[in-house]
Structure 1
């Protein structure tokens, strides 16, 4: 996404320079210094980093009231919208807006998947971290393969449209493949009253925990030992939310 946005922004900046130059295209016989575009790479990185940080620092305060299905739909929407905006952007500003939507989708998707992993076995966290680490490498090689003249030789615009398969796969993984346990709050898409997770105090929460089918959170290994493989989600206290922010700030130091 970032590579495609940077390529498209560079082409847009070159078009502005060419249109303002009456002598037309300039061919440099000898390059003695770097020729930078009007919008540098740092602008793309800022458009990708700042919205992601804002989402990760603010959403833990209220995200627990949003059902997982709506969160996932928002992630898919931001992903698809970012690819479409960057692919059809008429100027640099619109391209940066596409990068912002990609950053929002990335930040929301990360904290949503981590919260969702609490309903599954402890290996889901390590699997998620391995997947996010490999995603950067795989995505970079995929974009290079699509745009390399000696390989697919596609334009950045066509490559962005092909990448729409990512939000499609992301949505199928949640709504068609994932076997969601009964500890996940499920909303009714046609009933807006269920789009907000109802608030419950500690007594109601404790009662709901006792009524859950704990067998879905436990598994028996080969030796017959029963182990807990899931964690029941609960509402975070204010101190715990502030701790999440502190850990996030330490990450950026």
Structure 2
């Protein structure tokens, strides 16, 4: 009799271990009905919509957009990797319902929102790969039935922040200064002199945030000719850049020949 009782307990323990693959994510209420499973087919996994390819993001946040298959309709996890090093820089394995919208919008798309760019979020000046995974739940609304494979990766870049350019005149020379750019490793000063070949040149590449152009004479009087500048914040590793608005000074006379 003792041997039979021991074998019965051992068999129940083994059965419980085998059932561990489909444990509910929350405890069911007392007397809750047994969840119904639909395993007639398996999830094909979500499809990345945007951002992808050569997309370069300039804002402070973005939405990761994707489509789900017919069975796995809950977000399971989101991951973002540094494209150059393969380092995981962001992940969310507990996405709440509020972070994505049900597929009632354009092309039945879903969105994972609030991915912060720069600051304490995804660093600026780099390229990234991202992917999403979904899962299916039973009719009880919480028991995970199956987890879909990861989507293919989407790719996007995050530009350095836009520098703000200001300038003044001192001893007939233009003095430029600009705000530092998050994600930039250096700055390019771009210059255009009106009626002088019609092209831009780069008189200076610097890590500083100021520049005095000693090659031109400027004045506050409109002589009909001008010099125009803008600053480009550049990440020399990724090649990503962002540029300021322009600053114009009037030339003292005819442009140089």
Question: Same fold by TM (over 0.5)?
Answer: no
TM-score normalised by L of structure 2: 0.23
**Higher strand fraction: Structure 1 or Structure 2?**
2
Higher helix content, 1 or 2: 1
- TM-score w.r.t. the length of structure 1 is 0.23
